[in-house]
């Protein structure tokens, strides 16, 4: 009777239907940290939940960047770890959520990939990360940003397009039940080509981010194994089709790794690929992870790479990293603290 129940099917046995509507509002619209705060529900209903109505327990809460970043490690009853990071900015507050516990894609430079796959998250577990963040933000504001989540990125643990049905249902609830704008929801994928075509058919104007990281198949296959199944030409075709169908510009993510994908040749080829699909490029200097000796290039090389991409005529930004000291930065989720056992 909480996030695992479809919101339209919430019903409280022996209670009139308006009680279920009240409960739905506490779960999705004005979430609260504990059932005791659901003040218009009688104690008999709140007691049903015990101390918590969340599908997971909060194992750790960490804060960084002078209170502008907040990270949680949640733990599901079966032991699966779920991580989410909130980042406050002047005009928006973004949550980076997980779609799977662990990840099966095994990208060499990503901490989640290095530790392997646990399981898919349910739609309830995905949407509850956003609801929990809203409850937390209302309870204690961050030093910068809004008092509720305004943007969502599927850039936490897991490959969202490998858990399509649950991710879709979570997005549906975010848009139709929580009132979030689909224009502020970004699905980030390693490049599951058939699922990109499927996403383009969904009824919402979502954003698509594609983790490219290399501009030739040999290099890409060596760091992103799924490239052997869905090579660059198939991926870029799918992205171009997504843009054509939805009118939404795709963004290309490029984790910059010293000596691997930071050459001027890669920058030029990246530019050509991005131009071909009207994409913009987001460069993320690598955040080091425990099981890899990869390092980011020095600041000058990052700048040179960015300029080389910009010279091809493609809009390019360098992503500011948040939360590095709490292992909340890109690719650092699922570091030591969250390894089960």
Binding mask 234-253 for ligand SAH (x = CB under 6 A): -------------------x
Burial class from Cβ neighbours inside 10 Å (0-12, 13-18, 19+) for residue 146 reads middle
- In whole angstroms, how far apart are CA 49 and each of 35, 127, 237, 290? 7, 18, 48, 39
Burial of 147 (0-12, 13-18, 19+ CB in 10 A): middle
Which listed range, 41-49, 137-145, 281-289, 307-315, lies at the site for ligand SAH (CB under 6 A)? 281-289
* Residues of this chain, 282-321, that bind ligand SAH according to CB under 6 A: 284, 286-287, 289
Q: How far is the CB of 238 from ligand SAH (least distance, A)?
A: 14
For residue 83, the tally of other CB atoms under 10 A from its CB is 27
Q: Count of alpha carbons within 13 Å of 233, Cβ hemisphere only? A: 1
Regarding 121 and contact with ligand SAH (CB under 6 A), the answer is no
| Cβ nearer to ligand SAH, comparing 166 with 289 | 289
With contacts defined by CB under 6 A, name the span among 25-33, 52-60, 122-130, 186-194 that binds ligand SAH: 186-194
Alpha helices in the chain (DSSP H): 17-24, 43-48, 111-115, 123-139, 164-172, 193-200, 217-223, 232-246, 264-276, 299-311
Number of residues written out for the chain: 341
As a whole number of angstroms, the distance between CA 101 and CA 81 comes to: 6
The helix (H) or strand (E) run that includes residue 205 is: none
Distance in Å, CB of 330 to ligand SAH, minimum: 3
Minimum CB separation of residue 270 from ligand SAH in Å reads 14
Bridge partners of residue 95, in order along the sequence: 86, 152
With CB under 6 A as the contact rule, the residue among 27, 190, 232, 316 that binds ligand SAH is 190
The residue among 20 and 110 lying less far from ligand SAH, judged by its C-beta, is: 110
Name the residue number minimizing CB distance to ligand SAH: 331
Q: By the 8 A CB rule, do 130 and 150 touch?
A: no
In angstroms, give the least distance from the CB of 11 to ligand SAH.
35
Judge whether 330 counts as a catalytic residue.
Answer: yes
Residue placing its CB nearer to ligand SAH in the complex, 118 or 253: 253
List contacts with ligand SAH (CB under 6 A). 109-110, 155, 159, 188-190, 211, 253, 255, 284, 286-287, 289, 330-331
Catalytic residues: 83, 330
């Amino acid at each position: 009777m909480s996030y695992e129940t479809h919101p339209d099917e919430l019903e409280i046995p022996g209670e009139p239907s308006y009680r279920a509507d009240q409960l739905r509002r506490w779960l999705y619209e004005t979430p609260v940290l504990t059932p005791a705060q659901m003040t218009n529900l009688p104690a008999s209903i709140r007691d049903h939940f015990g101390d918590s109505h969340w599908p997971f327990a909060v194992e750790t809460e960490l804060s960084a960047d002078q209170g502008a970043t907040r990270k949680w490690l949640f733990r599901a009853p079966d032991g699966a770890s779920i991580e989410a990071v909130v980042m406050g900015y002047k005009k928006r507050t973004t949550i980076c959520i997980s779609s799977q516990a662990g990840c099966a894609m095994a990208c060499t430079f990503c901490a989640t990939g290095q530790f392997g796959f646990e399981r898919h998250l349910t739609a309830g577990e995905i949407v509850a990360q956003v609801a929990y963040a809203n409850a937390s933000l209302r309870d204690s504001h961050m030093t910068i940003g809004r008092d509720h989540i305004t943007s969502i990125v599927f850039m936490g643990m897991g490959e969202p397009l490998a858990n399509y049905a649950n991710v879709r249902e979570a997005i549906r609830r975010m848009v139709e039940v929580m009132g979030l704008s689909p224009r502020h929801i970004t699905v980030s994928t390693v490049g599951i080509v058939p699922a990109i075509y499927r996403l383009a058919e969904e009824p919402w104007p979502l954003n698509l981010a594609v983790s490219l990281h290399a501009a030739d198949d040999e290099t890409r296959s060596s760091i992103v194994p799924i490239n052997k199944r869905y090579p660059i030409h198939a991926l870029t075709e799918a992205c171009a089709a997504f843009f054509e169908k939805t009118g939404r510009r795709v963004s290309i993510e490029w984790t910059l790794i010293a000596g691997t994908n930071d050459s001027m040749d890669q920058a030029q080829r990246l530019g050509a690929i991005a131009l071909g699909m009207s994409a913009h490029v987001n460069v993320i200097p690598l955040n080091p992870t425990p099981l890899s000796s990869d390092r980011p290039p020095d600041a000058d090389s990052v700048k040179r790479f960015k300029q080389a991409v910009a010279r091809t005529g493609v809009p390019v930004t360098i992503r500011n990293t948040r939360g590095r000291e709490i292992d909340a930065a890109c690719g650092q989720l699922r570091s030591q603290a969250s390894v089960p056992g």
